[in-house]
Chain A
Amino acid sequence: MEIPTKIQIKGIREGLLVTLGEGPWEQVQEAFLEHLDQQREFMKGARMALDVGNHMLKAAELGQLRNHISEREVTLWAVLSNSPTTERTAQTLGLETRLTKRKPEAAAPQTRYQDADPAILVHRTLRSGYSLQNPGHVVVLGDVNPGAEIIAGGDVVVWGHLRGMVHAGAGGNESAVICALDLAPTQLRIAGAIAITPQRRGKSLPEMARIVDGRVVAEQWNPKKRE
């Protein structure tokens, strides 16, 4: 009845890559921790990326696992998964979900885009204290509240109220733009330019901010159409 859950350990540039097998999560986790204990000396002080495959993990489970791992003096820095839920959970816990930010060998077919990093779609409201960082574009379906921040290498689109801090083109891309249905941020940054929202006058309309002559300028979205 005991199915030996398969655990693969591989050395990679960033440390160790551990791939967990299928099966009930309880068993998989137990087998994995046992494995860690057996190889304690070898594992000590390692930086580990964990590939959990298809397992769908909630914050409590993943948090617990991370605690178990850190008790064994191993640092968990990334969780790879096929499940978007698990990826989201990992991101919530501040873990990476990809091994490398750029894979030069994978980006072989040359595209016209200077920024080949993947965009991410966030389907929730970002509340105070939440920090979202992505080397590519960021799209938020929801609000960005005061005290939350988004730092993106590319553009940022907020389908909702933008009241927090957004830095687009954080890598120095001056052609990056920031769009929001209601653009009322505490601060906007595009590449090296910083702007503060002026006092709101009247009703809010969708706006887009970009750099014109070195300054951040916000304009109503498609004003011509309304005439």
Chain B
Amino acid sequence: MDYSGNGKQMSGKVLTVTSGKGGVGKTTLTANLAAALAADGLKVVCIDADIGLRNLDVILGLENRIVYDLVDVVEGRCRLRQAMIRDKRLPELYLIPAAQTRDKNAVSPSDMVRLANELRQEMDWILIDSPAGIERGFRNAIAPADIVLVVTNPEVSAVRDADRIIGLIEAEEKGPAKLVINRIKPVMVKRGEMLSMEDVLELLAIELVGLIPEDENVVISANRGNPIALNGKTKAAQSFRNIARRLQGHKVPFLEMQEDGSLFGRLARMLRAGGN
């Protein structure tokens, strides 16, 4: 995966962000990854596959510019280009929003594959934000995927759902998925009140591509429709940017949380020593 993307190689990669459990940060991760990749000069389009419960447009701050949506494209009411909303800040960042007045059955997995193949021609990255759950919406979201990112929190229930999802991804022959652990509270991990990163990794046993600490600034900037990865200075912002770099094939060490506790730092060192 040494994709350096100077905008000339036009066979984009399709990356689906999923989790099983809701509320672990799929949409936030999608928005921030898209922003970080686009800020690196790549052509990026996000597709919100959460039909009926759209959010990605809000987090990207593009809600008021929606005219056509994913279902309109699939049902032929508009051309693909017309449904692609261009971001104000980054000229090569686009969004195809979900329809709010329909449900997941309005789109089929083969529609998604067709759409993604069309987008591959002109974009570097196609990011798909999957809905929570393991039903139709999830199947739609992973159907065209080249890479699947599974997001989880260091909580027993989120990890259980992630495990289930990873199994389903394997069964669909889209695996192995890659893992992002979001909302880590290093202080709680240190006190032993949260699952440790080691526990999560040992159970899920897939490649780790991101560790993101809990940070209220992520929520604040999401509420403002301004993804933190764009210009945020916090560790969380840097973590999002690092994931984007890793997806492009760069080796980026995992951040240490020195001021918070040593366990996280030890893990980061351990992973680096592992050569990944």
Contacts and interface: CB of A to CB of B under 8 A. Distances in A.
B164 A147 contact: yes
A172 to B, nearest CB: 30
B164 A92 contact: no
Nearest to A127: B167
Interface string B102-132: 0000000000000000000000000000000
B270 interface: no
A145 B173 contact: no
A59 B160 contact: no
Contacts, number: 35
Contacts of A60: 172-173
A128 interface: yes
Contacts of A129: 164, 167-168
Contact of A128 (B163, B170, B202, B205): B163
Interface residues of A, number: 16
A145 B170 CA distance: 15
B264 to A, nearest CB: 23
B36 to A, nearest CB: 30
A145 B171 contact: no
A107 B161 CA distance: 43
B203 interface: yes
Contacts of A161: 202
A146 B204 CA distance: 11
Nearest to B202: A161
A128 B164 contact: yes
Contacts of A92: 171
B44 interface: no
Contacts of A35: none
Interface in B138-182: 160-161, 163-164, 166-168, 170-173
Nearest to B203: A145
A130 B134 CA distance: 14
A102 interface: no
A152 to B, nearest CB: 20
A127 to B, nearest CB: 3
A125 B160 CA distance: 14
Interface of A: 58-60, 92, 125-130, 143, 145-147, 161, 163
Interface of B: 160-161, 163-164, 166-168, 170-173, 202-203, 205
Given A60-B172, A127-B163, 5 more contacts: A59-B173, A127-B166, A129-B164, A147-B160, A147-B164
Report the 5 A-B pairs with minimum CB-CB distance, sorted nearest first: A127-B167, A128-B164, A128-B163, A129-B164, A127-B163
